Amino acid sequence: MTEHRKIQKFIVNDDDLDRWQIMKINPPFLLFDKRRRGRIFDDIFKTISCLFLALVLAMPNLALSQSASRPMEVTVCTISHTDKDAEERLELFKQMGVTSIQTYIFWNKVEKEPGKLDWSEYDADASLFKKHGIKWVPFIIAGPWYVTPDFIRRDPQMVMLRCLEHGRDSAIPSIWSPRLRDYVRGYLQKFAEHYLPMDVLESINLGISGDYGEAIYSVLGNWPGEYHSHGGYWCGDPLAAADFRRALRELYNEDLQALNSAWISRYSSFEEITPFLPQQAPSARAWQELIRWYRDSMTNFADFWMSAAREIFPSTEIYLCTGGDMSPEHGSDFSAQAKIAAKYGGGIRITNESSSFPHNVRLTRLVGSACRFYGAYFGHEPASAVTPVGMLGRLFNAVASGARQLFLYHTPELIGLKEGKPLIGEGGRHHVSYRELQKTTTPVIDVGLFFSTPSTREAVREREAFGDLAADIRRFVDYDFLDDRLVQEGALEGKAVLVLAGVSILESRTLAAIQAWVENGGVLFALSCRPSDWDGDLRAFDRLVGLTAGSDEIQGITELAVDAAKRLPSIASLQSVFVTRAFTALSADAEPLLSMRYAAKGKVAWMRRLGKGRVFAYFGPMDLKPEEESWMVAHNLPMHFLKDGIQDCIGEGVLRKIPLSLNLAVPGVFLVETADGILALNMNPAPKKVDYPGGSFEIAGTSIQRLPKKQ
């Protein structure tokens, strides 16, 4: 161990140290003259020095834990120096704990001609914010049609995105265009040279692509009719095609025969290969590898932006704006983007929230889970206006997730008018009431819900049902989302429960990691899913859950029979439950839990012990609609199965830790465990009494309450 350690000023990978500002630490103990110490003191000195250096090596993780107590950044979009009552509104914002104002930076207004810049509009805004002690968050966007100067699109070296569906160009520059990267770097440099000396920035938000700046491809476009836009695949330009071939050459080590064998194709050369639509893919594997390249391309573009921004803004917080739901056409990969953000000491802004707390969890949680795992920070933004009670839920979601930043739109719910005077609105009053809670926490989450990355439109339709399930699971227990990357890189460590639902494809390495985790004491719930690997092979997953080579799937409408009423008490109490799917010939160690009444050999659910852990398999109905909307009464059966299974594992001491966020009985009340205690949200208008693993409490209607964590 050397005496001088280079300590990262930001949490990054070792390979990236030379991109960063660094500082040298001289441990104070090393400054003493060894000749002035006796042997005993020398031994003590060596021990303390080693401990000090061990602490130095642990500083990245220490930085994360210390950030838990920092005030949350609350940013509002937007207000201008030209707005009536702007100064009064800024003072009202401060009462809510607002720390900054976000402004969209229109590059095409700043630089209408190359090299001629006019920052005056934004200078006036920044000066006004600074006068009131509020920082500024500029949304720096380059590429999307509505902010990009015409001279960039007219540049003869610029290449535009081209869709595969029609072979037509967009008015958005291709992310594969080197010329675009030249412009982006230059623009960031000009912005930094002008605004860094002013000391007004709280952070910068990077808008790298998409329709409005998100780290996705064009989805619907904006300003309809101004350019060719639609949901689809935007990788048809020559630079994209060349990069696809490059990636395949690297993947298959220049071995075309190996590619043809894997893809079940007959290409005569790599040059013959161009990006294709899913219905044109030679095989399922071919499509999986194209969509992975498509997502990786956007991730690589984000890497370029984050690298350039960190070099130009060495000490400024940097957020990468992303959005959508990871539909394959979007090209986004939230966990990969989080890993990139962490690499450069940055964060992610996810822009898809609504007014429903449980649905906001399923929309934002993958970003939060991945950022906390990799060491990035993150913030939440709604997709549109939010109701006042939705604002309370958004505040709770940000705190419960460990977010550093919360974005609010400047709507009447935040600040309204009374007799022509601005006043804090109903939603804004929540931020006044809970201002002391607006801090970055460290959540403690014991349950993982597997996030299957959709690769086809069919998978997206399945995702809608999965979204309802994910929101419903959050109604009784908190969870982290874990995708293939997170599972493979160790994010299951410390989790007690993992739920698989709506999964059609599971990578082999992911399955191996899950099996090892179960054998070490994890509890797996597989809900109505039987995923294959990329080549369509089901056998590895079947072995894990207890299906055999002789297992047959049988279908038909029949009543449900409960084989293990003690393990599933809430299901046993239900009347007239019907099922349509079951399996025969389970493995010898599978304990039947639910069966078809008129086909007893057909098992609907079962449990098997595996090492120190358990696997629960369930193939009953997944319908979560209210009874009057369902074609048969489903009784929310998946939730009962999860609840009963968790309770069974708690009762038998299988779970290593009881989730303190568990609330099985009171709808509309949500619990979160943090390092500092328990937080509760009551979305009901009436007060509720709640029993939870740490005790019981009563919470007022439409409120947040902090509970002490019992030792």
Q: Are 419 and 386 in contact (CB under 8 A)?
A: no
pLDDT tens digit sequence for 184-230: 999 999 999 999 999 999 999 999 999 999 999 988 877 777 899 99
pLDDT at 333: 97
The arithmetic mean of pLDDT across residues 467-482, rounded, is 92
Q: Say how far apart CA 508 and CA 127 lie, in whole Å.
A: 55
**Could you tell me the sign of the dihedral formed by the alpha carbons of 132, 133, 134, 135, in that order?**
positive
CA distances from 157 to 151, 163, 352, 582 (A): 11, 19, 35, 60
Say which range, 12-26, 62-76, 341-355, 405-419, has the weakest mean pLDDT. Answer: 12-26
452-651 — its CATH code?
Answer: 3.40.50.880
pLDDT at 511: 98
The arithmetic mean of pLDDT across residues 543-571, rounded, is 96
pLDDT at 65 over 80: no
Task: Tokens 């902090």: give the residue.
Answer: 706
Q: Are 201 and 316 in contact (CB under 8 A)?
A: yes
Strand pairing class (377-382; 405-409): parallel
The arithmetic mean of pLDDT across residues 39-58, rounded, is 39
pLDDT at 38 over 50: no
pLDDT at 625: 60
The pTM of the whole model exceeds 0.85? yes
Q: Are 611 and 515 in contact (CB under 8 A)?
A: no
Beta bridge partners, 679, equal 672, 706
SS3 for 585-644 is CECCCEEEEEEECCEEEEEEEEEEEECCEEEEEECCCCCCCCHHHCCCCCCCHHHHHHHH
Q: Say how far apart CA 22 and CA 24 lie, in whole Å.
A: 7
pLDDT at 54: 38
pLDDT at 6 over 80: no
The confidence band for 56, taking pLDDT boundaries of 50, 70 and 90, is very low
Peptide bond into 78 cis (omega under 30): yes
Q: Say how far apart CA 349 and CA 341 lie, in whole Å.
A: 10
Residue 620 neighbours by CB distance under 10 Å: 24
Nearest partner of 153 among 143, 162, 163, judged by Cα = 143
The arithmetic mean of pLDDT across residues 62-78, rounded, is 70
- Phi, psi dihedral angles at 666 (to 5 degrees): -115, 100
- Phi, psi dihedral angles at 92 (to 5 degrees): -65, -40
CATH 3.40.50.880 domain extents, the chain: 452-651
The confidence band for 17, taking pLDDT boundaries of 50, 70 and 90, is very low
Cβ density class 40-75: b for 16+ within 10 Å, e for less: eeeeeeeeebeebbeeeeeeeeeebeeeeeeebbbb
pLDDT at 405 over 70: yes
Q: Say how far apart CA 232 and CA 40 lie, in whole Å.
A: 72
Say which range, 381-385, 420-424, 552-556, 626-630, has the weakest mean pLDDT. Answer: 626-630
Tokens of 598: 């008129």
| Mean pLDDT over the full length of the chain | 88
pLDDT at 461: 63
pLDDT at 166: 97
pLDDT at 30: 28
Say which range, 17-31, 321-335, 400-414, 681-695, has the weakest mean pLDDT. Answer: 17-31
pLDDT at 553 over 50: yes
Residue 13 neighbours by CB distance under 10 Å: 13
pLDDT at 46: 40
pLDDT at 298: 98
pLDDT at 464: 74
pLDDT tens digit sequence for 284-342: 999 999 999 999 999 999 999 999 999 999 999 999 999 998 999 999 999 999 999 99
The arithmetic mean of pLDDT across residues 154-160, rounded, is 97
Q: Say how far apart CA 529 and CA 24 lie, in whole Å.
A: 52
pLDDT at 123 over 60: yes
pLDDT tens digit sequence for 656-667: 677 899 888 899
